Structure 1
Amino acid sequence: MRIGVLQMTSGIDPAVNAATLVEAIRTAASNDATMLFTPEMSGLIDRDRTRAAANIVLEEDDEVLRRVREAAAAAGLWVHLGSLAIRRPDGLFANRGFVIDRTGTIRARYDKMHLFDVDLPTGESWRESASYVAGEAAVVVDTPVGKLGASICYDLRFAGLYAALSDAGATVLAVPAAFTRPTGAAHWEVLLRARAIESAAFVVAAAQTGQHADGRTTHGHSLVVDPWGEVLLDMGETPGLAFVDIDAARVADVRARIPVIAHRRPIPSAGRPTA
Structure 2
Amino acid sequence: MTLVAAVQMVSTPDVAENFDTAARLVAEAAQQGAQLVTLPEYWPIMGMTDADKIAHAEQAGDGPIQQFMSALAARHRIWLVGGTLPLVSGQEGKVLNTLLVYGPDGQAVSRYDKIHLFGFTRGEESYNESKTIVPGSAVGTFEAPFGRVGLSVCYDLRFPELYRAMGECTLIVVPAAFTHTTGMAHWEVLLRARAIENQCYVLASAQGGVHRNGRRTFGHSMLVDPWGEVKSLLREGEGIVLGNVDPGVLARVRESLPALKHRTL
TM-score, with structure 1 as normaliser = 0.91
Match of 1:264 in 2: 263
**Counterparts in 2 of 1:59 and 1:22: CA distance versus 1, 3 Å:** farther
Match of 1:229 in 2: 228
**Counterparts in 2 of 1:164 and 1:51: CA distance versus 1, 3 Å:** closer
Letter in 2 for 1:116: F
2:173 corresponds to 1:179: no
Q: Secondary structure at the match of 1:72?
A: helix
Aligned mates of 2:133, 2:54 — CA distance in 1: 11
Indicate the RMSD between aligned Cα atoms, in angstroms.
Answer: 1.5
Match of 2:206 in 1: 207
**Unpaired stretches in structure 1, ≥5 consecutive residues:** 267-275
Letter in 1 for 2:254: R
Matches of residues 149-164 of structure 1 in structure 2 within 5 Å? 149-164=150-165
Match of 1:242 in 2: 241
Instruction: Quote the offset at 1:238 in angstroms.
Output: 2.2
Aligned mates of 2:157, 2:51 — CA distance in 1: 28
Match of 2:20 in 1: 19
Larger radius of gyration: 1
1:219-268 CA-to-partner distances (Å, cap 9, x unmatched) read: 000011000000001101121123212212222211111112111122xx
Q: Secondary structure at the match of 1:260?
A: coil
Instruction: Quote the offset at 1:90 in angstroms.
Output: 4.9
Q: Secondary structure at the match of 1:52?
A: helix
Aligned mates of 2:56, 2:86 — CA distance in 1: 9
Instruction: Quote the offset at 1:61 in angstroms.
Output: 3.9
Report if aligned partners of 2:41, 2:176 keep a CA contact under 8 Å in 1.
yes
Match of 1:273 in 2: none
Report if aligned partners of 1:39, 1:176 keep a CA contact under 8 Å in 2.
yes
Match of 2:7 in 1: 6
Instruction: Quote the offset at 1:23 in angstroms.
Output: 2.1
Instruction: Quote the offset at 1:83 in angstroms.
Output: 1.1
Aligned mates of 1:176, 1:50 — CA distance in 2: 20
Report if aligned partners of 1:202, 1:226 keep a CA contact under 8 Å in 2.
yes
Match of 1:270 in 2: none
Report if aligned partners of 2:168, 2:198 keep a CA contact under 8 Å in 1.
no
Q: Secondary structure at the match of 1:206?
A: strand
Aligned mates of 2:113, 2:48 — CA distance in 1: 19
1:32-54 CA-to-partner distances (Å, cap 9, x unmatched) read: 11111111111111252453322
Aligned mates of 2:62, 2:108 — CA distance in 1: 15
Match of 2:118 in 1: 116
Match of 1:71 in 2: 72
Report if aligned partners of 1:96, 1:111 keep a CA contact under 8 Å in 2.
yes
Q: Secondary structure at the match of 2:176?
A: coil
Q: Secondary structure at the match of 1:175?
A: strand
Report if aligned partners of 1:44, 1:85 keep a CA contact under 8 Å in 2.
no
**Unpaired stretches in structure 2, ≥5 consecutive residues:** none
Aligned mates of 1:158, 1:242 — CA distance in 2: 25
Match of 2:95 in 1: 93
Choose from 84, 109, 112 the match for 1:107: 109
Instruction: Quote the offset at 1:89 in angstroms.
Output: 4.5
Q: Secondary structure at the match of 1:51?
A: helix
Report if aligned partners of 1:200, 1:254 keep a CA contact under 8 Å in 2.
yes
Report if aligned partners of 2:70, 2:106 keep a CA contact under 8 Å in 1.
yes
1:71-127 CA-to-partner distances (Å, cap 9, x unmatched) read: 21121111111211222345541111111100011110001111002212x431111
2:195 corresponds to 1:196: yes
Q: Secondary structure at the match of 2:83?
A: strand
Aligned mates of 2:242, 2:135 — CA distance in 1: 32
Bigger mean CA deviation after superposition, 91-100 or 222-231: 91-100
Q: Secondary structure at the match of 2:84?
A: strand
Letter in 2 for 1:265: T
Q: Secondary structure at the match of 1:185?
A: helix
Bigger mean CA deviation after superposition, 138-147 or 51-60: 51-60
Letter in 2 for 1:197: I
1:185-209 CA-to-partner distances (Å, cap 9, x unmatched) read: 0000011101100000100001001
Aligned mates of 1:62, 1:9 — CA distance in 2: 23
